[in-house]
Each structure stands twice: as C-alpha cells, then as structure tokens.
A and B are shown apart, each in its own frame.
Chain A
C-alpha cells in the first residue's frame, strides 16, 4: 500500500490472503479429488455422496498401472522422446539463433520472416500434411518420428527467444576472442552458450514439457501400444476401461508429477520465461 495507517493496511492484507486462499482451494479441489480417487479401490470411485478422503486407501491402482498395464513402459517412452527432443531442439535452435544474432548474410531477413510465420501458424493447420510427410518418410508409428516432428515444431519459438538473448551479449567479449584467433564455432561453444545458461534453461524446460504433454501428434501417428507415450496411453486406456477411474488417475498422477516437479524446481525460470512471452496459451 502506498499510504494508509497500519491497522487499515493489516486489514487489507488479511482480506487479500483470505480471497487468495479461497481461490486457491477452489482451484486445487480437482487435483485433490484426482489424487484421492487414485488411492481408492475401484468399487468406490463413484460413491454417493462423493468422498474426498478415501476410507480404505490403497496403492493397488499404482502397482497395477505401473506393472500389468505397462505404464512403466509408457513413462520411459515419454521420457526418451522428451529428452531427445529437448537435446536436439536446443542444439539446432541455439545454432540458428547464433547465426541470426551475430552474422550478416544474404537472405537473413527473409529466413527470419519465414521463422516468424512458422511461429504464428497454429499447429493443427499443418497436421494433415505432416501426417502425409511422416508416412513418406516412414516416420509413422515410431518414437523417432515423434522426436523429429516435435523438434521441428519447437525450433521457431526457441530460436526466436534465444536470438534476442544472444543479441544482448556484449560484442566486445566476442571481439576479444576473435583477436585471440577463435573461430565462430569456438566462440559459440566457449562464450555464447555458457553465458546463455538462463535462457537455455528456459527453452529446455518449455521444450521438455511441451513434448512430455504432447497429445495430438502422438495420437495421430502412433498405433503400436508398445510405442505409446503417457498422454495417449492414458487417454486410450480411459477409452477402453471407462469405469477404472482409480487406475486412470493413478496413471495421470504418474504423468503429472514430473511436470509439476520441474515447475516447482524451476519456478523462477518459468516466470521469467513467461514474462518474455515464451509460452503460448
């Protein structure tokens, strides 16, 4: 508060906290209910009246999801795809961003404009041609297909963000290295990348979560159950066993926990990344 007496300021603060707490509880109820359901025996998931706290908590849903329903496998598939995508997208987009930020070459403006177009076009618009392309390239029904297309899909945004960060690195540092005889590759690895750790962290986190959560492309291109990632495994499992909500939410909790953990650990990077317009709605 800018002005006001202490008593009034205190009352306002209490009011703020009360409103925020109320909102937070309302917002959290679905999550609490989800986790609670995942610990209920399957016969009790649709009790009347609904119970938030399970009377007979059990971890049977988790053991069943992880073992007999192969969610361990899907978890590893998702992890592999997300890590490989993040590594590939980070390398390729930081290289592109370096070229755009530090070099003058014919076609630079046109190529950057094309990149911006890629940024604006909604992903669903190109789903059909991408599907046909993946078919031609024999990348349907393959985890590598997911990695290639996720990487390509993340390049524009990542390059855009990294470029503006690279541009803010003082030229003088690079000039000093040039005087010492360092070529572009050395400057990129020894100077630009180490100085850009915060930006690289943001880009890595967003890329990882985007591939971890991606649904539509995986749903469209993957048929072989052995190659399911978590989002499609959960959705398709729910479609087949529409009454096993306990299992569905055990699997969901397994899928959500890594994302939330990453968010909690990297909260500061998240917020600053958002502030720079990094994440779309």
Chain B
C-alpha cells in the first residue's frame, strides 16, 4: 500500500483498500470492463461451487424435514423436525456418537503428543532429517482404503500378523472395544506424520534468540520447551487440535471397511450409521438429519475449542 497515491487511477480498479474509503467514482467504461472481467473470472467456478456445495447444504436441511421419497413422481411427506426427534430416541445414534467420541478421545491426544515428540526430535541439525520426515509422513499420503484393508489383515485373529508376532489370540475385530482400539491405532498411525510436519514447521519458526536467552538463564531443555516453544506455537496447536477433532468425528472409511459397524452394530460410528440409513435403507430424510446433527456437533466443538485456546492465562 506504499506507492498508491502516485497511481490511483490504476490501483483504483485493481482493488486497493485505500480507494475504497473514497466516494465511488462514476462508472466509466474502463471500470465497467473491469467489473465484467471480475464476474467472468469468478462466474464459472463459483456457479459450479454453488451447484455442488452450496445448494446441497441447503438441500440437506430440507431433505431432513421429510420422509423422503426416492421413487420419482411420488410425493415426500413433510415431517417437520420428526427425524431429529427420532435421532434423539435412537440408541444406535447414541452409540454412534459414543464410538466416534471414543475414537476422537483416543486419537486426538495421541496424534498431538506423538506428533509433537517426533517434531521435537527432528527439530535439530542432524543427518537424514528429510528422510525421517518423509518416512513419518508416508502413511498420510497413503489412501484410506489401502491402509484400512491392511490393518484388517494385520489384526486377523488366526494367522494375523499382530496375534502371530505377539503370541496373542485376541479376537480383535469381533468385540466392540478391541475393534474400536484397532480403528484408533490406525487413525493414530496414519495421522502422526501430519501433526508432526505442522508442529515441526512451527517449532522452526520459534526465534532462536528466545531459546538462547533461556539457556543463558540456565533453563534445561525440557523447561525451555515448556516455557519458550510451547507458548510460541500455541496457535498452531489449537489449529491442529481443532482439525483433528473434526477429522475424528468424521471417521468413516476405516470403520466402513474394517468392521462395517459390526459385530451387531457395536462399532457403528455416526457416519457409517448415516451412510447405511441413507444408502442401504434409502431413508434419505433420516440420513440427512443425522448428517446435519453431526455437522452441528462439529461446529459447536470447534467454537468451544476456539474459546478454550484463546486465553491461556485465564485457564489457570
């Protein structure tokens, strides 16, 4: 915004904030051409975005108010908020919430602690640093489908790798909590690299002088980490936590492919339950209500976390 006064006529239509404070000039041909250009640049993409994302958001709510008829030509029945009331009295909805909550409660802290540990270890001058970073990141770039099938295979009861190597005979996927544990281990294994890379980037941007000053004052490494690094990267930790919580509540593919919500719906999470209601039982109204509730929960959780992270001092 420095040299703006010298070239206002040009920068005006280029959109500098300085010009927005002035009364809007009369629309001249040049300005009109620029306006047309703006909408032409925006138009194709935004129309597609509106069609594929915005319209379905509105529609999701609308569908959730109906007993939705999938047969063309037959009318859907308006139910008001009935589908939402049904969810509140549906034990499977609560179990799905509980399981998703368990998955989140296990995977989020583990990914943060382990990701931070690896980031701290990597945050030094050392050989093979890029190599290690790549290795830890590899599970992140691997498709959920492949790693889900892989973990199902590793945890097979008879002849599976885990039981075989550890000399166990646990029916991992046949019981609710061991199956949830397998799903969580997969989530952690796949997610460490992501939080690690983000934490590492944040740690590297902590000013060296702060560390040196603390070291001169005689602070040991652990103390320096707690007193200097952690406060400095607090916003990044908040960012990672919020995204991990959202991701945790949205767990779907691994559950769908590893347990299918079984045995007997014991490991159903919100999204696998929603998916089955919608695409196996074709109950689109109820499925949409479940999806909408999930979105609300995710939004509320994100807002709560934003508040919690905002003021570190007040929490004490």
Interfacial residues, chain A to chain B (CB-CB below 8 A): 1-3, 13, 16-17, 19-20, 23-24, 27-28, 30-31, 33-34, 37, 46-50, 92-93, 95-96, 98-100, 102-105, 111, 114-115, 117-118, 120-122, 124-133, 148-149, 151-153, 155-156, 159, 171-172, 174-175, 178-179, 183-185, 188, 209, 212-213, 215-216, 220, 231-232, 234-235, 238, 245, 248-249, 252, 255-256, 259-260, 262-264, 267, 270-271, 274-275, 277, 279-281
| B178-207 at interface with A (beta carbon < 8 Å) | 189, 191-192, 194, 197-198, 201
B238 at the interface (CB under 8 A from A): no
Q: Digitize B129-145: 1 where CB-to-A-CB distance is under 8 Å, 0 elsewhere.
A: 01011111111011111
Measured between C-beta atoms, what is the minimum distance from A249 to chain B in Å? 7
Measured between C-beta atoms, what is the minimum distance from B181 to chain A in Å? 16
C-alpha spacing A245/B152, complex, angstroms:
11
Residues of B within 8 A of A264 (CB): 134
Residues of B within 8 A of A171 (CB): 11, 14, 16
Residues of A within 8 A of B134 (CB): 263-264, 267
Measured between C-beta atoms, what is the minimum distance from B251 to chain A in Å? 10
Measured between C-beta atoms, what is the minimum distance from B298 to chain A in Å? 6
Q: In the bound complex, do residue A215 and residue B55 qualify as a contact, i.e. CB atoms below 8 Å apart? A: no
Q: Digitize B259-302: 1 where CB-to-A-CB distance is under 8 Å, 0 elsewhere.
A: 00000000000010011001100001001100110110011000
B75 at the interface (CB under 8 A from A): no
Q: In the bound complex, do residue B126 and residue A99 qualify as a contact, i.e. CB atoms below 8 Å apart? A: no
Q: In the bound complex, do residue A99 and residue B198 qualify as a contact, i.e. CB atoms below 8 Å apart? A: no
B170 at the interface (CB under 8 A from A): no
The listed residue (A28, A30, A99, A159) touching B38 by CB distance below 8 A is: A99
Sample (8) of A-B pairs whose CB atoms are under 8 Å apart: A92-B48, A104-B15, A132-B63, A151-B48, A183-B37, A184-B41, A231-B143, A279-B194
Measured between C-beta atoms, what is the minimum distance from A153 to chain B in Å? 6
A-B contact count (CB 8 A): 287
Chain B: number of interface residues, binned into ranges:
35 or more
- Find the B residue at minimum CB distance from A1: B124
Residues of A within 8 A of B244 (CB): 281
Residues of A within 8 A of B16 (CB): 171
- Find the B residue at minimum CB distance from A179: B10
C-alpha spacing A232/B148, complex, angstroms:
13
Measured between C-beta atoms, what is the minimum distance from B86 to chain A in Å? 16
Q: In the bound complex, do residue B279 and residue A263 qualify as a contact, i.e. CB atoms below 8 Å apart? A: no
Measured between C-beta atoms, what is the minimum distance from A213 to chain B in Å? 4
Q: In the bound complex, do residue A102 and residue B14 qualify as a contact, i.e. CB atoms below 8 Å apart? A: yes
Q: In the bound complex, do residue B54 and residue A132 qualify as a contact, i.e. CB atoms below 8 Å apart? A: no
The listed residue (B7, B122, B198, B279) touching A274 by CB distance below 8 A is: B198
C-alpha spacing A172/B10, complex, angstroms:
10
B13 at the interface (CB under 8 A from A): yes
Considering residues A3, A117, A151, A235, which has the most beta carbons from chain B within 10 angstroms of its beta carbon?
A235
Main secondary structure of the interface of A (DSSP, over half): helix
- Find the B residue at minimum CB distance from A213: B143
Q: In the bound complex, do residue B52 and residue A31 qualify as a contact, i.e. CB atoms below 8 Å apart? A: no
Measured between C-beta atoms, what is the minimum distance from A265 to chain B in Å? 11
Residues of B within 8 A of A174 (CB): 14
Residues of B within 8 A of A48 (CB): 158-159, 164
- Find the B residue at minimum CB distance from A3: B215
- Find the B residue at minimum CB distance from A176: B10
C-alpha spacing A211/B202, complex, angstroms:
29
Q: In the bound complex, do residue A126 and residue B41 qualify as a contact, i.e. CB atoms below 8 Å apart? A: no
B51 at the interface (CB under 8 A from A): yes
C-alpha spacing A149/B127, complex, angstroms:
44
Considering residues B39, B41, B57, B252, which has the most beta carbons from chain A within 10 angstroms of its beta carbon?
B41
Measured between C-beta atoms, what is the minimum distance from A32 to chain B in Å? 10
Residues of B within 8 A of A178 (CB): 10, 14
Measured between C-beta atoms, what is the minimum distance from B306 to chain A in Å? 12
Q: In the bound complex, do residue A132 and residue B284 qualify as a contact, i.e. CB atoms below 8 Å apart? A: yes
Q: In the bound complex, do residue A92 and residue B45 qualify as a contact, i.e. CB atoms below 8 Å apart? A: yes
B88 at the interface (CB under 8 A from A): no
C-alpha spacing A34/B137, complex, angstroms:
17
Q: Do A100 and B42 form a contact, CB below 8 Å, given A20-B121, A30-B189?
A: yes
C-alpha spacing A245/B53, complex, angstroms:
38
Q: Do A105 and B39 form a contact, CB below 8 Å, given A126-B60, A184-B34?
A: yes
Residues of A within 8 A of B53 (CB): 118, 121, 126, 152-153, 155-156
Residues of B within 8 A of A270 (CB): 137
- Across chains A and B, which 9 residue pairs bring their CB atoms closest together, nearest first? A152-B52, A46-B159, A281-B247, A92-B45, A103-B38, A129-B56, A129-B59, A126-B56, A213-B143
Measured between C-beta atoms, what is the minimum distance from B100 to chain A in Å? 12
C-alpha spacing A172/B136, complex, angstroms:
42
Residues of B within 8 A of A280 (CB): 243, 246-247
B156 at the interface (CB under 8 A from A): yes
Residues of A within 8 A of B110 (CB): none
Q: A95-B45, A262-B141 are in contact. List 19 more A-B contacts (CB 8 A).
A: A20-B121, A24-B136, A30-B147, A30-B150, A30-B154, A92-B48, A99-B41, A103-B13, A103-B15, A115-B49, A122-B250, A129-B56, A132-B284, A149-B52, A156-B53, A255-B145, A260-B142, A263-B137, A263-B138
B103 at the interface (CB under 8 A from A): no
